[in-house]
Structure 1
Amino acid sequence: MSNDEHLLGEICEFLQSSLVNSLLVTHPNRLCLSSFELPPEWSSWWSWASEISSGTDSIEPKWLTVLHYYMDPPEDGEQSCSTSLPPELRWLVGEARRLQLPRSSTPSLPLGTGQFRGMSPKKAHEVDRMVQYISHILSATPKLDVIRHAVDIGAGQAYLSRKLRDDLGLHVLALDWSDVQTQGAARKDASAQKRSKIAENAMEQGSCAEDRAQAALAGTGSLTYKTMAITSDSLLETVTDWIREDAPGPVSGDPVQDARQASSGAASGPTHVLLVALHACGSLTPSILRAFLAQYKLAGDGPRTWTPQAAVIVGCCYNMLDSADFPLCRTLSARRGLTLTSNHLQLAAQVPSQWLRTEESAKVATVAVRKVVWRALLEGIMEHDASSGRTRPSEGGVCSGQDSAPGWTGPSAGQKRLGRLNDSAYADWRTFLARSASKLEINITGKESKDRVMESRLEVFHVLRCLLGPVIESLMLLDRQSWLQEELQTTGLRSELVNLFDQSTGSGRNVAIVIMPKEKAD
């Protein structure tokens, strides 16, 4: 059994354990309802979470105690607030930390500083880091140095596409499902090209030979935009049409590069293509991987217009994953009893290890926890008032909206939705109640006294669920990696999971699925 298969088995057993499963199948909004029955596995930590400080004490909230234990567990014999955690919580938090894939970025790659106008520092970091990595594998892997064409799938505003063209001199096809995104990307590109003329003039007036050579290489690339509904089949068809009709030929303008291509037969054979995606939402990642495998395995079926030689795919938005896309590998397909629900998929995007990274991120995390907890408390208030006739039952439900905890079905037909509230609504309990009452058009006066015991329980409950997120993400990534290893076993390719992004930026996405020739890059 491989290490990946062993880890997959451990993760499955952990997620299917009674304590973990009970946390995953229960939504916070249910905890304050009269129908809620406390699972027996919760009794110890539920009691512990109820031990709140008095108004004059400065003891840290219990949810922070759990988070600190997760981030920095005490050494043997060391005393801290976190050592007061019940044994089952210490087990759960410890296993959640142990079973997730490492999240530190690849240390050997330099971090650049390039940034497009209108791009956030976080996005700039992701784009820059990905281009650095792609440049590294193209130059360090002999079978990849002939690649001159790339397809950016789910390109959005095409920041990555333009960097691949401008920095690496690649011919790029930028694909996105949104025409608004595609048109916006084209406008940004036109504006950037105007500004680049100034830089070109400065380059001509005086610069080193190396800079001029780099500028000449960048000028050899091109960029084509296309809007489409992206599936495995449509992706293959669109790339084939682009290579046949629109894409520039394999000649790069660089004599050394062209000589390499001629000697390798690339000029007369199928065009070598790199597939990339920085925001492969939901099922887009498996769709790209299926297209890659299908096109690559056409080798024995006659001449091909193009062949995929490498891929660098970073997924996101697991909540949009189609149920048919998990599990993929044989190891998990043969295992019974584990199904990823909407609860699992929503939680997979959580990165609690970054919540206390900076003072600002800690403030953001505190508000995020408060949003989930206070909405759950409101649910209990609404149920009580509806049963006493103070509110109409048809308006008694609270739908948490897009920024809520996962798995809540929301109100039934005819009920109002609380939806998204600005962060200012969570400044204090009275403000939250007033904003909620106004939006739901109900009267909940007299509820200014918050149930602090239940608040503490809900905070701990929510944080425990979020700590499971990285484990769920690891399960999905290992499933895809194991599946690719099965599919690529008889080919000249290999796959691996690569941590691309520096987590100091707070990026939730940092693991790329990489496919490349079996020869190791330097």
Structure 2
Amino acid sequence: MDFDETVLFLQDYSWIFNFKVTEILSKTTLQNIPYQWFQYLKDTNIDEFNKTFVYTTEGKFADEYKKSIAIVEQNFIQQFKFRLNKIKMKNKEFKFDSSNDKENPSLWKGHSEKKIHEVRRFTQFIDNKLLKTEDLCIVDIGSGLGYLDEKLLSYGFDVIGIECNEAFHKSAIQRHKKESEGMNNSVTMKHLHMNFSFQPDCVKAVEKSISDEKDGCLVALHACGDLTNQIIKTFIHSEKIRSLAVVSCCYHKMNSNDFPISQKLKEASVELNVNYFNHFFLRLGANEPLSRWMKMSDIEHIEHSNNVLFRSVLEMYSKQVGLELKKKRRKATKKSEIKDFVGYVDNLENIYDLSFTEQEKMHLQSIYETKRYLHKFVENLTGLQFLVQQVIEQLILADRKAYIEEQMNQIYCDSEHECDIELVYIFDDVISPRNTVIYASKNSKR
């Protein structure tokens, strides 16, 4: 990924995401949107938007851009599409072989399609990469109830499950005892109750748990927030750890010091005076991918635009009158059951700890009437966010990949090929939105 081009693209189009969603109708948010874009977004129906941005063949972007130079009013659209296509990464894809999957039917009882999909594919990816290395022990960070661990054991790996939640930790131990009865005990399973981090005591505890004759491979399925960076640092600096395979999630929960992490992206952001590496940026990176948008029905688009617009009107009203919005604990009416703004207002007292007079309801309605023409705008801007989401997530992952490369080069000094690093698509993002694994392996002993 070209960091300079990507950072500049996101800088030029930061108006798409650099705001709180409930403030989408605020004066500041609207003023930051270029006039041509605002007019286009508020006047275009969703079908036309999708034909223009979502279903256009990628290979045509460059040709369309060249042909559109003379069409001034459309040039801004073609430029966006051309630049977007130019910076998008095309990672490797892991080909899952269902015929080689070793099933234990009891393992999947009561589990979601997403859980089954992820555990089966991630296990096979690990097995494919490690090629049944006999002197390797897998350390599963955030092992939860141990479903991934049981699957890895069935592939012949020794496994150590690390879990910070005591209830999950105890349940995983009980599950393993039950699952391992009468099975081949040639492989070992250990459970550690600890909060994993790149701290000396923690790293030493992990290293000590791995037998002397084996090396470790750190794996994590959905490493939340800055946990991925903690795992990466452990991999880099521990002689006992030879490889890692991590699927990240919840980027918005990262510490502000954990992005960017690579020197390369830090320098690019300083040089280009980046001002959008914030919670809104990371929040969008953690949102659902474009495939989710592509599967939305017309009714779902209407429900979504209603929800965003209605909530934004409430935000405007609360700021005008100095009202603090406190949600109640009990469940309110489902969003899909609210058909219009009057119904939304009537349901507010079920959601928030407040009570409206008829005059206050009329005030809310009057604000809505001045903004109701923005329904298309709200939904089309959301569509642009879906398009930009993939770029933000790729930048976050590429930053981590670059950090590993930088750190390993500093350690080995002589060659950048002492460590193999790659980003690989391993899940169907329709089923599992966070579908990319960071894989790294040290090729030789220090």
TM-score bin (small chain): 0.7 to 0.9
Aligned equivalent of 1:30, options 18, 23, 36: 23
Maintained 8 Å contact 1:175/1:226? yes
Letter in 1 for 2:398: L
**Correspondence 1:109-124 to 2 at 5 A:** 109-110=97-98, 112=101, 114=103, 116-124=108-116
Aligned equivalent of 1:442, options 355, 372, 385: 355
Aligned equivalent of 2:323, options 394, 397, 415: 394
1:11 aligns with 6
Tell me the distance in 2 between the aligned counterparts of 1:480 and 1:156.
24
Identity over aligned residues, as a percent?
Answer: 21
Maintained 8 Å contact 1:146/1:272? no
1:473 aligns with 393
Tell me the distance in 2 between the aligned counterparts of 1:497 and 1:289.
14
User: Where in structure 2 are there 5+ consecutive unaligned residues?
Assistant: 65-70
Aligned equivalent of 2:225, options 279, 282, 285: 282
- Secondary structure of 1:145 counterpart: coil
Q: CA deviation at 1:49?
A: 2.8
Cα deviation digits, residues 276-331 of structure 1 (max 9, x gap): 111111111110110111112xxxxxxxxxx1121111111101111211222222
2:117 aligns with 125
**Correspondence 1:295-314 to 2 at 5 A:** 295-296=238-239, 307-314=240-247
1:237 aligns with 2:170: no
Q: CA deviation at 1:422?
A: 5.7
1:409 aligns with none
Tell me the distance in 2 between the aligned counterparts of 1:95 and 1:423.
42
Q: Residues 418, 125 of structure 1: CA spacing in aligned structure 2 closer, same or farther, 3 A cutoff?
A: same
Letter in 1 for 2:323: S
2:37 aligns with 45
Cα deviation digits, residues 492-522 of structure 1 (max 9, x gap): 322111111133x431111111112449xxx
Letter in 1 for 2:216: V
1:182 aligns with 169
Cα deviation digits, residues 142-188 of structure 1 (max 9, x gap): xx7233411000112221111111x2222211112211222232343
1:71 aligns with 54
Letter in 2 for 1:499: Y
Letter in 2 for 1:25: N
1:169 aligns with 2:135: no
- Secondary structure of 1:328 counterpart: coil
Q: Residues 282, 476 of structure 1: CA spacing in aligned structure 2 closer, same or farther, 3 A cutoff?
A: same
- Secondary structure of 1:226 counterpart: strand
Tell me the distance in 2 between the aligned counterparts of 1:193 and 1:348.
40
User: Where in structure 1 are there 5+ consecutive unaligned residues?
Assistant: 53-60, 78-82, 201-215, 244-248, 250-268, 297-306, 387-392, 396-414
Q: CA deviation at 1:369?
A: 5.1
**Correspondence 1:85-484 to 2 at 5 A:** 86-102=74-90, 105-107=93-95, 109-110=97-98, 112=101, 114=103, 116-139=108-131, 145-165=133-153, 167-193=154-180, 197=182, 216=184, 219-233=185-199, 234-243=201-210, 270-296=213-239, 307-335=240-268, 336=270, 337-338=273-274, 340-356=277-293, 358=295, 367-368=303-304, 370-383=306-319, 386=321, 393-395=322-324, 415-417=325-327, 424-427=334-337, 428-429=339-340, 430-440=342-352, 441-443=354-356, 444-446=360-362, 447=365, 451-484=371-404
Maintained 8 Å contact 1:186/1:225? yes
Tell me the distance in 2 between the aligned counterparts of 1:467 and 1:270.
48
1:206 aligns with none
Tell me the distance in 2 between the aligned counterparts of 1:271 and 1:465.
46
Cα deviation digits, residues 468-503 of structure 1 (max 9, x gap): 211111111111111211222327322111111133
Maintained 8 Å contact 1:104/1:502? no
Q: CA deviation at 1:238?
A: 2.0
Letter in 1 for 2:3: L
Q: Residues 186, 374 of structure 1: CA spacing in aligned structure 2 closer, same or farther, 3 A cutoff?
A: farther
2:424 aligns with 498
TM, length-normalised to structure 2: 0.81
- Secondary structure of 2:244 counterpart: strand
Letter in 1 for 2:346: A
Letter in 2 for 1:238: A
Q: CA deviation at 1:370?
A: 4.4
Q: Residues 104, 517 of structure 1: CA spacing in aligned structure 2 closer, same or farther, 3 A cutoff?
A: closer
1:57 aligns with none
Cα deviation digits, residues 353-383 of structure 1 (max 9, x gap): 21255568x8767655543333113223444
Deviates further, 40-49 or 314-323: 40-49
TM, length-normalised to structure 1: 0.70
Letter in 2 for 1:442: S
Maintained 8 Å contact 1:161/1:172? yes
Q: Which has the higher helix share?
A: 2
Which structure has the larger Rg?
A: 1
- Structure 1 runs (4+) deviating above 6 angstroms are 362-366, 418-421
Q: Residues 372, 130 of structure 1: CA spacing in aligned structure 2 closer, same or farther, 3 A cutoff?
A: same
Cα deviation digits, residues 113-143 of structure 1 (max 9, x gap): 845223211111111111111111222xxxx
RMSD: 3.2
Q: Residues 419, 87 of structure 1: CA spacing in aligned structure 2 closer, same or farther, 3 A cutoff?
A: farther
Q: Residues 32, 309 of structure 1: CA spacing in aligned structure 2 closer, same or farther, 3 A cutoff?
A: closer
Q: CA deviation at 1:66?
A: 3.1
Letter in 2 for 1:511: T
Cα deviation digits, residues 259-290 of structure 1 (max 9, x gap): xxxxxxxxxx6521111111111111110110
Tell me the distance in 1 between the aligned counterparts of 2:299 and 2:166.
36
- Secondary structure of 1:460 counterpart: helix
How many residues are aligned here?
A: 409
